[in-house]
Amino acid sequence: MFWDCDELYDGQVDGFKVYDFNSNAWRVVNYPNCFITNSHGVNVKGNGYWNAYDDNYVDYILSFDFTGERFIRLCLPPPSQGCMYTSLSVVREELLVLRCVKGSSKIEMWVTTNKMDTSASELSWSKSFTMNFGFPVIVYTSLLVDEDKKVVLCDTIVGDHLSGACTIGEEDKYYSEIAFEGMSI
């Protein structure tokens, strides 16, 4: 199955469709009243996951179970002080979250500790490691993680520009950056 999320403004969900290969057709499914913070979702064991928030600006992970065609609201890792930027990824069939406080140079990497399956209604999290860029940064939507080596490759935004790809290791043991010339978002 494929999915398609129609958005109104500011990421508010206005429709959700799945494509069924057996019937060769799109089908509309019931969807929650929510806002998706970016269109970059991830897939873990056949379920879709997105960063979302509700009318009260409470952040959470929106999960879609393709088998049961239902949405589930899941908790994010414990918050730090300040406005958070959150990026989702997958490592070894586990959901991974990178979080950073607005204006901070530190990024926390959290990994789910419970089994990811269609029956999961709650997530438990473990902080895998903390990275320090040395300057304020926003983690964008693309990242690759090597949990064993505790290294993250991600793209970053500084100001209004996609600045480049960064490779960051735990506790400042390793850092490198490849600049993207003149790319603005």
What are the structural domain ranges in the chain?
Answer: 1-74, 92-185
Encode pLDDT of 126-157 as tens digits. Answer: 888 777 766 666 655 566 666 666 666 666 65
Interval 178-183 mean pLDDT: 58
Alpha helices (runs of H) in the chain, residue ranges in sequence order: none
Encode pLDDT of 72-131 as tens digits. Answer: 899 888 776 665 677 787 877 778 787 777 777 777 878 888 776 655 567 888 888 777
- 118 DSSP assignment: T
Taking the complete model, does pTM exceed 0.75, yes or no? no
Give per-residue burial for 64-99: e unless 16+ CB within 10 Å, then b: bbbeeeebbebebbeeeeeebbbbbbbbeebbbbbb
